[in-house]
Chains A and B, each alone.
Chain A
Amino acid sequence: MRIEDHPVLGKFEKGQKVRFSFDGKSLEGFEGEPIAIALRSNGVLIHRYTARRNEPRGVFCAIGRCTDCIMVVNGQPNIRTCVEPLKADMVVETQQGRGPAKESEVSHA
């Protein structure tokens, strides 16, 4: 899916090649590019499943506005992957519904 030689833009400048994990699998991407771009280059389109109807969602606006592409990143839910830069060894997970609750939000009643 990556554009190797663009007629107008030539080659795209990217950061270092790094590995990250997606749902337990080890994938490759470029440091600094949005997580969503690294995922798409690996053929990943589904970023999350909605809370009520369990429907798949992916990138929609790609500029951090619509929040359709949110995922769990390093354990933190609701990260907009279309704008969040990829770092080496990041742990990216498909978000189910609202994602894992924080310890402070868990009811111990």
Chain B
Amino acid sequence: MLRYEMICVGAGPAGLAAAIEAAKNGVQVVVFDENDRPGGQLFKQIHKFFGSREHRAKERGFNIGQAFLDQARETGVEVTLNAVVLGIYENGAMNVMIGDQVKQVRAQKIVVATGAAENMVPFPGWTLPGVIGAGAAQTMANIHGIRPGNKILMVGSGNVGIIVGYQMLQAGSRVAAIIDAAPKIGGYAVHAAKVARAGVPFLMSHTIKQAHGKECVTGATVIQVDSSWQPVAGTEKEFEVDTICIAVGLNPTTQLLGMAGCKMTHVPTLGGRIPVHDLDQETTVKGIYVAGDVSGIEEASTAIIEGRIAGLAIAHRLGYMDDGTFRKEREKQSQSMKGLRSGSHGERRAKAKEYLNAIMPAAI
């Protein structure tokens, strides 16, 4: 059995940040990722990020991703790709399938940074070729350089829906409309303004009734919903589109944590069932930490800070950092986080995280 001081599951922004922070302080770290390239979803993020200089604001996601990979290399973080963690067992034991071989490994500390999966909304025709997740649209256009479709209906007006809508315009597709059953646009106003002035209409209080087409999507019917989310007969609108893109939120990928016995709780603001964790990102199972979307759906920039906090806490617990330094460093990250979890979009997430942290006070 291979032994490590720290294993990180997931090489996205949260996992890499945790690994780098720990490795910088002397911890021996390996990161497993099931994909054939590291960076998680960062390399699909081609827009400039918000925040301030310390959050790398105005830099594009994929450039931040590249900087992370460089830093991981410099700090001696070992990243193993095509590595699927099958299970986390007692005392930090883990089965990981690398290529087609299953290996047993053990770590003193584990960071689970497995991210999130997309939510779905079922409707007649939703299985037709041409109905895709917003993430799929992003992957096709920004990684593989192909337009998912020529004319797109976007379902969901959160930041993902609007940003991917904008990216579809950049890819050369037309966006017929962005619809949302919610009464108000969910994403940032500046993102919405960007696509609105490109001529993309927003249809709020509208849901998709049906996708049309026999072999693949040829159109869609959308319908208005009332204040109790019921369709209003006679308000149907037809769109001639070849692609319907679904961006109705994300849910944390928590299976590994569930099987490891971490206590879970339901926090709708953070995307549903999430692991209870303290200020240091440690779960109810000692030695297992979480960071990023798996610990509650937020953003890449907040995921990075959570990762850093987990990395610092692990360096501290393993004796690579004294109490005073740890407290100081953690405070610095908390302050940086406070900036991102404020304002009308961030406040609700800040409250939800406070609720979690109140359930489980930090170790020091």
Contact = CB atoms under 8 A, between A and B. Distances in A.
A8 B44 CA distance: 11
B60 interface: yes
B136 A61 contact: yes
Interface string A33-63: 1100100110001110000000111111111
Given A3-B172, A9-B46, A45-B216, A58 B130 contact: yes
Contacts of B133: 60-62
Given A60-B132, A61-B136, 18 more contacts: A2-B146, A2-B147, A3-B146, A3-B171, A3-B172, A6-B171, A37-B146, A40-B146, A45-B129, A55-B127, A56-B215, A57-B127, A58-B129, A59-B140, A60-B136, A62-B140, A65-B117, A68-B127
From A1, A12, A46, A68, name the one whose CB has the most chain B CB atoms within 10 angstroms.
A1
B170 A8 contact: yes
B129 A61 contact: no
Interface of A: 1-3, 6-9, 12, 14, 33-34, 37, 40-41, 45-47, 55-65, 68, 82-83
B99 interface: no
Contacts of A65: 117
Contacts of A9: 46, 142, 145
Contacts of A56: 128-129, 215-216
B145 A12 contact: yes
A6 B135 contact: no
Contact of A12 (B127, B130, B144, B215): B144
Most chain A CB atoms below 10 A, which of B36, B129, B131: B129
